[in-house]
Amino acid sequence: MKIYYSEKHRNHYPPFEVFDGGKRVPYYENPDRMDRIMAALNKTDWAEISEPKEFGLDPILEVHDRGYIEFLASCWDEWLASDPEVAKSPETHAFLPATFALRRQAHPTHSLLGRGGYYIMDLSACIVAGTYKAALASANCALSAASSSYNFHSSSFALCRPPGHHAGKDYAGGYCFINNASVAANWLSKKGKVALLDVDYHAGNGTQDIFYERSDVLTISIHGDPDFEYPHFFGFAVETGEGAGKGFHRNFPLPKGTGDEAYLTVLDEALRSIRAFTPQSIVLSLGADGFEGDPLGTFRLTRNGFGEIGKRVAGLNLPTTIIMEGGYANEALGENIFTVLENFK
């Protein structure tokens, strides 16, 4: 199985994030996550791990606003130049705005903090010196996997970090800066219809934002109900697309404590929708934060449950581009991801 991975993800390691209630905590989305997955994959005889190819900015700018990408590229250097305290000890700092835009009337301002509040939706999308470089490499992993799946009519895995499904057309959020799955799905959509299935515990708000008015990419997200769970303002069942995209987006919000049986019942319904859509390829946003005991989730999925998710998605018998998203129970993460992937080898 082709697996694309870049060590450049290590350039993105903020020293903290700001958690609910204003508490500063160590960054949950950290390099140890990738090390755990790589350790599990290196034990196999079927994981063919490669560096991603360079695809340039064009595939990214097809789904993301140019001004937003330019902000990601320049933010850290601008902040470093404008704040002497940051320049003294950059390794202890991360860029975060304190004022966030209410988008009904907002537009990006000339000030860096104003642009930060416009282009960042929360306090977990921390920017440090290597964030943009890591985000580009992550997107190239996704594009390399999509290209491999298409060219060889097989399945592939993009071991993406930072993840991507919370990044919208023109905003970062939830540890995500470039929407890797959406970049891959958009690239594949030029070859035929695509279904994008998001099984991360949190709603794929960025993916929903990007494809909400399109009919060539069916998007489905199964997640914790936003009535109690992040991202709170996206992911309700009534959100089904607009304009040409009406009916081509589905959300399945689930209650706290959802276990294997209830989850797999909903997954089967999602897969029926995918079969009815008759796509030529699948993009799977694979998050493992639905695992029981994950510090950022409330579901009770077991390792067997993850194996069954992989088995049922693989049962579509379509080229599948698997994109790594969340999952923060690090000790179990590698084996959980392996359990999904072995169904596609």
Closest C-alpha among 65, 59, 97 to residue 170: 65
User: Alpha helices, DSSP H only, in the chain?
Assistant: 32-41, 58-61, 66-82, 84-88, 112-119, 131-152, 180-189, 205-211, 260-277, 303-314, 330-341
pLDDT of residue 254: 98
Per residue, the 3-state secondary structure of 274-315, as one string, reads HHHHCCCEEEEEECCCCECCCCCCCCEECHHHHHHHHHHHHC
Contact of 45 with 3, CB cutoff 8 Å? no
Task: Look at residue 61 and tell me if it is in a domain.
Answer: no
Task: Look at residue 110 and tell me if it is in a domain.
Answer: no
Per residue in 271-312, pLDDT (tens digit) is: 999 999 999 999 999 999 999 999 999 999 999 999 999 999
Contact of 137 with 144, CB cutoff 8 Å? no
Q: By residue range, what is the domain housing residue 193?
A: 2-14+26-54+129-341
Per residue in 202-241, pLDDT (tens digit) is: 999 999 999 999 999 999 999 999 999 999 999 999 999 9
Per residue in 154-195, pLDDT (tens digit) is: 999 999 999 999 999 999 999 999 999 999 999 999 999 999
Closest C-alpha among 282, 35, 329, 341 to residue 161: 35
Task: Look at residue 257 and tell me if it is in a domain.
Answer: yes
Task: Look at residue 82 and tell me if it is in a domain.
Answer: no
Task: Look at residue 38 and tell me if it is in a domain.
Answer: yes
Task: Look at residue 19 and tell me if it is in a domain.
Answer: no
Distance CA 292, CA 331 (A): 12
Closest C-alpha among 144, 152, 166 to residue 322: 144
Task: Look at residue 195 and tell me if it is in a domain.
Answer: yes
Q: Which two tokens stand for residue 106?
A: 């907002």
Contact of 224 with 256, CB cutoff 8 Å? yes
Q: Hunting for tokens 């089967």 — which residue is that?
A: 268
pLDDT of residue 106: 76
Q: Taking the model in full, what pTM does it have?
A: 0.97
Distance CA 37, CA 140 (A): 19
Q: Which residues are catalytic?
A: 166
Phi, psi of 183 (to 5 degrees): -60, -45
Per residue in 327-344, pLDDT (tens digit) is: 999 999 999 999 999 999
Task: Look at residue 261 and tell me if it is in a domain.
Answer: yes
Q: What DSSP character marks residue 103? A: T
pLDDT of residue 108: 87
How many domains are there within the chain? 1
Q: Hunting for tokens 């009815």 — which residue is that?
A: 276
In this predicted structure, the answer to whether residue 67 has a pLDDT above a threshold of 90 is yes
Per residue in 120-147, pLDDT (tens digit) is: 999 999 999 999 999 999 999 999 999 9
| CATH number of the domain that residue 188 is part of | 3.40.800.20
In this predicted structure, the answer to whether residue 105 has a pLDDT above a threshold of 90 is no
